[in-house]
A and B are shown apart, each in its own frame.
Chain A
Amino acid sequence: MTALLQVGRVSKTFGGFSAVSDVDLSVEEGEIHCLIGPNGAGKSTLFKLIVGTYAPTGGHIRFRGQDVTQAKPFARVQLGMSIKRQAPSVFKALPVRQNLHIALQHHTAPDRLEREEERLLELLALSADAAKLAGQLSHGQQQWLEIGMAIALKPTLLLLDEPTAGLSSEETRHTGELIKRLNAGGMTVLAVEHDMAFVRQIATAVTVMHLGRTFARGSVEEIVADPSVAEIYLGVPHAG
C-alpha cells in the first residue's frame, strides 16, 4: 500500500541556510499524524513545502499517487489537501458566514450551500456570530473558523499548523475532539503541534524533526519512551 502523502528526501535552503534537509515523511490514510520537534526544527518550513508555498531545492512530494513537487498550491488543494495556517488567517474584513461560504462553494451545490453553512457554524459554535466580521472574533474563535474553512473543502488530507496555539485548555480539548471526530469520518490529519498532552490525546502516529531532519518516527508510546527524543527537547545527553 502506498502512503497518502509521501515526502522523499526533501530539502530547502534559503541563501546558505538549510532549513530542511533530506526529510522523509509518510502519512498513511486514516492516520492522525503529529509532527513534533523543538523550535527551529523545520516543521513549518516542511508544511510550506507540502502545501506548495515554497518550492523545494531537492527531493519529491507525492500525494494520492501523483507527483506534486512542482504543483502550485491551488492545484494541491484541488487534489484534496487543505491547510489551517499557523497564525489565524481568515478574511478579517468579511463576515463569518461569507468566510465559510467562500470555502464551501467549491464542493457544494448552490441549493445546499445554506444548509452546509448552518451545519458548519453549529459545529464550530459560531452560529450566534455568523453576521460578525471575522476580525471581530476572539483569537480562539478565529482559529476555529479557520479550521472550519479548511474542513469545508472536504479534504482527504487536513494539514493543521499548530491548531491549539493560543487556545485555553478547554478550547484545546474541544479542538482535539473535533479532530478525532473528523478523522473518524475518514479524514487523514497531519498536524504540527507543541502541546504534548494534545499530541497524546489525538495522535496515532508521530514524526519527530530535529535540526531540519527526520529524527524519529513511531506511535505516541514509542516516541514518548524514546530517550533520545527527550534528549533533543531537554538539550541534555541521556544518561544510560
Chain B
Amino acid sequence: MMGNLFSYFYQFADVFSFLVLSAAGLAIIFGMMGVINMAHGEFIMCGVYVTAATFHAGLPLPLAQACGTLVAALIGMVLEVVLIRPLYNRPLDSLLVTWGLSLVATQGTLVLVGSTFPGIGTPGGGFEVGGYGFSVYRMVLFAASLLVLAFVYLLFMRTRFGVHARAVMQNAGMAQALGVRRSQVYALSFGIGAGLAGLCGALYAPTMSLIPTMGASFIVEAFVTVVVGGSSVLLGTAPAAAALAIVRTGLNAWYGQIIGQIGLLIAVILIIRVLPDGFSGWLAKRES
C-alpha cells in the first residue's frame, strides 16, 4: 500500500521534473522576449555533451554539470547578440532563425563528433519503499526542478536584474527611458534561458544515451508546457507542468508511454480551447 502510493508520487515527480527542467529555459526566453527558441533542444544537447566530455576528462560529475550549464549559457549570450538582436519585435522571424541554428547545431555535431558519444552511468543507486525499488537520482532530479523554480523566483523577485527584467517585460519603451538597457536584459535573459536548457541536459546526461539528435526528445514536452503555461515561469510553467504531469502519469500507468504522450497532446489542445492565454493568463485575470 505504502509502496503503491509512493510509486505514484515517484512517477508524478519524475514527469513533473522532466517538464519543469526541459521547459524552464524556453519559458524564460519566451516570457521575456516573446521569442520561441527552436534551438532549445540543441542547448540541452550542448549541456549533455559538455557534461559528458568534461566528466570523461576527469572532473567530478557535479562540476562537469556546472560546466555544461555555463557553456550553454555563454553560447546562448553570444548567439543572442549575433542572431536575435537584429530581429527584435519580429518573433516569428527569430523563431525561424533559431530553427536554422538548431539544424546547423544537430547536423554539425553529427559531422564533427559522430553519431555516438560515450555516456555516463547513472549515479546514486537505488532505494526501496514497500517492496518496490526506486532510483535515488530521479529524486535528485525532482529536487533540482524545485530548486530551479526557487532560483527563478529569487532571480525575478529579489535581484536588480529581476527588477529590470520585469520592467522591460511590462513596457520596454518606458524601461529604456528609465535607463534600463533592453539589449543587455535580453542578452542576459537569453543566456539564462540557454543556461537552464544546458542545466537540463547536464542533469539528464547520466540517464540517457548520447546522440546529437537527443534534443528532439525534450522539445515536445518543453513546447506543450510553455503553450499551456503561457508567458510566466512561476504562474505558468509550474502549474502547467503539475497539471500535465498528473495527466501523463495517469495515462502512462494505465495505458503505457505511447498513449501517455498522445493523451498529453489531446489534453493540451483541450486546455488551450478553454484557456486561450494559458495558465498564467488565466491566473493573472483571476487576480485582477
Contacts and interface: CB of A to CB of B under 8 A. Distances in A.
Chains A, B in direct contact (C-beta < 8 Å): yes
Interface of A: 15-16
Nearest to B287: A15
Contacts of B288: 15-16
A44 B237 CA distance: 36
A16 B288 CA distance: 7
**Chain B interface: which size bin?**
under 10
3 closest A-B pairs by CB? A15-B288, A16-B288, A15-B285
B282 to A, nearest CB: 13
Nearest to A16: B288
Contacts of A16: 288
Interface of B: 285, 288
3 contacts: A15-B285, A15-B288, A16-B288
A1 B227 CA distance: 52
Nearest to B285: A15
Nearest to A15: B288
A14 to B, nearest CB: 8
Contacts of B285: 15
Contacts of A15: 285, 288
B276 to A, nearest CB: 14
A178 B288 CA distance: 44
A3 to B, nearest CB: 35
Nearest to A17: B288
A17 to B, nearest CB: 9
A16 B285 CA distance: 11
A15 B286 CA distance: 8
A13 to B, nearest CB: 11
A15 to B, nearest CB: 4
B232 to A, nearest CB: 18
A103 B89 CA distance: 29
A15 B288 CA distance: 5
B196 to A, nearest CB: 32
B57 to A, nearest CB: 54
A53 to B, nearest CB: 15
B286 to A, nearest CB: 10
A206 B285 CA distance: 36
Nearest to B288: A15
Nearest to B286: A15
A18 to B, nearest CB: 14
A15 B285 CA distance: 7
A188 B288 CA distance: 39
B182 to A, nearest CB: 25
A184 B285 CA distance: 46
A184 B162 CA distance: 60
B92 to A, nearest CB: 15
Nearest to A14: B288
A16 B286 CA distance: 11
B277 to A, nearest CB: 14
A104 B35 CA distance: 38
A54 to B, nearest CB: 14
B165 to A, nearest CB: 25
A15 B284 CA distance: 10
B283 to A, nearest CB: 13
B124 to A, nearest CB: 48
A169 to B, nearest CB: 32
